[in-house]
Structure 1
Amino acid sequence: MADREPEQNISGGAAGGGREATFDPETAGTRAEAVVDRLGELYWTKTYGGRDAFECLVRTILSQNTSDVASQPAHDALMERYGGDGPANTGDLADALAEADQRELAETISSAGLYNQKSERMIALADEIRDEFGGAAGFDEFVRGGDPSEVRDRLLEMNGVGPKTADCVLLFAGGRGGVFPVDTHVHRIARRMGLAPADADHEDVRAALEEAVPAEKCGFGHTAMIQFGREYCTARKPACLDDPDACPLADVCDQVGVYPESGEVVDPAEAMD
C-alpha cells in the first residue's frame, strides 16, 4: 500500500536542506509567489534534498523525453540490477554503471525509451564521475557541499545534462533553496499565466521565477506546477477552456494563448503575433 500523506503540510526544514515555508497568498510579495502559495493550498508540500546525487542524475536522465509511468520502472530495474543487492552491484553505483555492458544496461532500462542513447550516456557519465570524484559518494559530496553556481556549471558541462537536469540534481539531491527547475509544464504555465514573458525560453522562465519566488518555496513551486499542469493546465485543453470556474487559479491567470470564445489554444509566444 502506498505511504499516506503526512497530517500536516511541510516544506523545507532540516530534512529537506531548506527552511520551512508558510503559504499565504494574502502576504505574498509578488504575483508568482501568490500563485505558488495558492498551489500550497492545493497540494501537499514536501521536503527536498537527501537523495543520492548520482542516482538522482540517473533518474532524471531516464525521465528525459518520456513519462514517469515509463521511466519509473526503468529506474527500479536499474537499481535492482546495479544497486543494492543486485548481481551487477560493485558497491558504488557510478562504478557499477561505468563497468556495465551497454547492451545489458539498455535492455534493463528499455521501458524508458531511447534506451540505447540513455545507456551510452549513463555509462559515459558514470566513468567521468568515477574519474573526477572517485565515485558516487564523492559526487554526492560535491553536489551537497559545493558552491551552487559552480556545481550547476559543472553539471552543465556533462554530456546530456541540460538546465532542467542540473537543477533537479541541485534541488532533489542537494536540497538547494532558490532552485526552480523548468520542465515543459512549468515553461507553459508560467508564460500562460503571465508570470514570465510569453516568448521566454526555459532559462528566462527559470530566472523570472527564481527572482519572484522566495528561495524556500522554489522547490515546491516546481513540483506543484507540474502537478497543476497535469490536472488542470494541460497543453491542449486547459480546464478554463470550457469552464472558467473549473480552474482553481483562473482569477490569477492572464490566459495568454487560451481563447475560450473560440476554443483555441496556442503557445503563448504565438499569441504575441
Structure 2
Amino acid sequence: MNDDPEPIENISGGDEGGGIADSFDPGGAETRAEEVVDRLGELYWQKTYGGQDAFTCLVRTVLSQNTSDVASQPAHDDLMKRYAGDDLAEALADAEHAQLAETIRSAGLYNQKADVLTEAGEHVLAEYGSTEAFDRFVTEGDSNDVRQALLDMNGVGPKTADCVLLFSGGQAGVFPVDTHVHRIYRRLGIAPADADHEDVRGVLERAVPATKCGFGHTASIQFGREYCSARKPACLDGPEACPMSDVCDQVGVDVESSEVVDPADAD
C-alpha cells in the first residue's frame, strides 16, 4: 500500500468546487475493463467532482501534473485566493512570475507550471477574449474541436485536455489516461503491452460505458497509488493482497523473482 495515498474523497476543486457526485450502477459488466471499474466501485467511495468553469479546471489540472491531489490542492487554493477576481485568465496573464511560482510552490515544478499558467492566460485572452468566452467554447463547442484547441496550448497534453473535457465540458465517455491508468491497464492485459497513452484511451473508451468513464479514471489513479504501483505492486505479496488478482495478466510482473518491468519490456 502507498504511504501517501490519495484521499478517500476526490478533493479536486476543494470545498467550493461544486460538489457534483458521479455515480453508476455496477454489475452486468460486458468487458473485463468494465469489470475492473465496477470493482473499483466496491473499493472506493463515489468521487465528488469539482464542477468548475473550464479555465479553472484547466488551471487545477495543470497544477496536478506529476503530483497528487494532496500536494496540488493547497497550491490551487492559494492561487485562487490571490488571483481569482473578475477574470482569472487576465490575472494569470499579468501575474509576476516569481510571485505566481511561490504561490503554487506546494504543487511542485512550480517555475515550469507558472510559465504554463501565464501562457494559458495569455492564450485564452488572445483567442477568446475572456475566461467566460473560453468556458462557453469548452462547454458548447464540438468535442473534437475543443480537444484539439486545448492540445494546441503549451503545457497541455492529452490527459489534461481530457480532464477539462470530462469535468468541465461534461463530455461523457472521456477516460483520461495518466501514468497510473497507462500502467494499470497494460499490466492487467486489457490494453496491448506496447500501447501508448492514446492507444490505452481508445481501448478504455470502447470497453467502458460512458457513464462509468469519469469514475473509472479517478478510481484507477487511486488504485494505482494504493495497490498497483510502478515498482512494488501489491501482487508481489500474494494474490490475496490485490483485489484485481483474478482478472489481471500481471504483464511485466514476475511474482517469483519479484522483478517488475514496464509491460512494454516484458517477455
Other-structure match for 1:86: none
Equivalent residues of 2:51, 2:168 under 8 A apart:
yes
Amino acid at match of 2:178: D
Equivalent residues of 2:40, 2:219 under 8 A apart:
yes
- Which of structures 1 and 2 has the bigger CA Rg? 1
Pick the aligned partner of 2:25 from 22, 25, 44.
22
Residue 267 (1) aligns with residue 259 (2): no
Please give the per-residue CA displacement for 1:84-119, whole angstroms capped at 9, x wherever unaligned.
xxxxx3x11111111211221112112222222211
Distance (whole Å) between structure 1 residues aligned to residue 50 and residue 76 of structure 2: 18
Offset at residue 65 of structure 1 (A) = 2.4
Amino acid at match of 1:21: F
Equivalent residues of 2:20, 2:48 under 8 A apart:
yes
Secondary structure of the residue aligned to 1:185 is helix
Pick the aligned partner of 2:115 from 106, 113, 120.
120
Q: Tell me, which stretches of 5 or more residues in structure 2 are unaligned?
A: 1-6, 10-18
Distance (whole Å) between structure 2 residues aligned to residue 154 and residue 201 of structure 1: 21
Residue 248 (1) aligns with residue 246 (2): no
Equivalent residues of 2:193, 2:251 under 8 A apart:
yes
Equivalent residues of 1:17, 1:176 under 8 A apart:
no
Give the 3 Å change call, closer, same or farther, for CA 131–112 of structure 1 in structure 2: same
Offset at residue 259 of structure 1 (A) = 1.1
Residue 108 (1) aligns with residue 103 (2): yes
Pick the aligned partner of 1:217 from 212, 227, 230.
212
Offset at residue 175 of structure 1 (A) = 2.1
Offset at residue 141 of structure 1 (A) = 1.3
1:59-208 aligned within 5 A? 59-83=60-84, 89=85, 91-208=86-203
Distance (whole Å) between structure 2 residues aligned to residue 46 and residue 141 of structure 1: 25
Offset at residue 68 of structure 1 (A) = 2.7
Amino acid at match of 2:109: L
User: RMSD of the TM alignment (CA)?
Assistant: 2.0
Offset at residue 47 of structure 1 (A) = 5.5
Equivalent residues of 1:49, 1:175 under 8 A apart:
no
Amino acid at match of 2:254: Y
Other-structure match for 2:41: 40
Aligned-pair identity in percent equals 69
Amino acid at match of 1:74: A
Secondary structure of the residue aligned to 1:176 is coil
Other-structure match for 1:12: none
Please give the per-residue CA displacement for 1:177-217, whole angstroms capped at 9, x wherever unaligned.
11000011101100000110001111110011001111111
Name whichever of 204-213 and 93-102 sits farther off: 93-102
Equivalent residues of 1:48, 1:175 under 8 A apart:
no
Please give the per-residue CA displacement for 1:190-246, whole angstroms capped at 9, x wherever unaligned.
000011000111111001100111111111110110111111111111111112111
Give the 3 Å change call, closer, same or farther, for CA 29–68 of structure 1 in structure 2: same
Distance (whole Å) between structure 2 residues aligned to residue 191 and residue 223 of structure 1: 17
Equivalent residues of 2:181, 2:217 under 8 A apart:
yes
**TM-score under structure 2 length normalisation:** 0.89
Equivalent residues of 1:49, 1:171 under 8 A apart:
no
Amino acid at match of 2:206: E
Secondary structure of the residue aligned to 1:21 is coil
**TM-score under structure 1 length normalisation:** 0.87
Distance (whole Å) between structure 1 residues aligned to residue 196 and residue 8 of structure 2: 37
Query: Across the two proteins, how many residue pairs are aligned to each other?
Result: 252
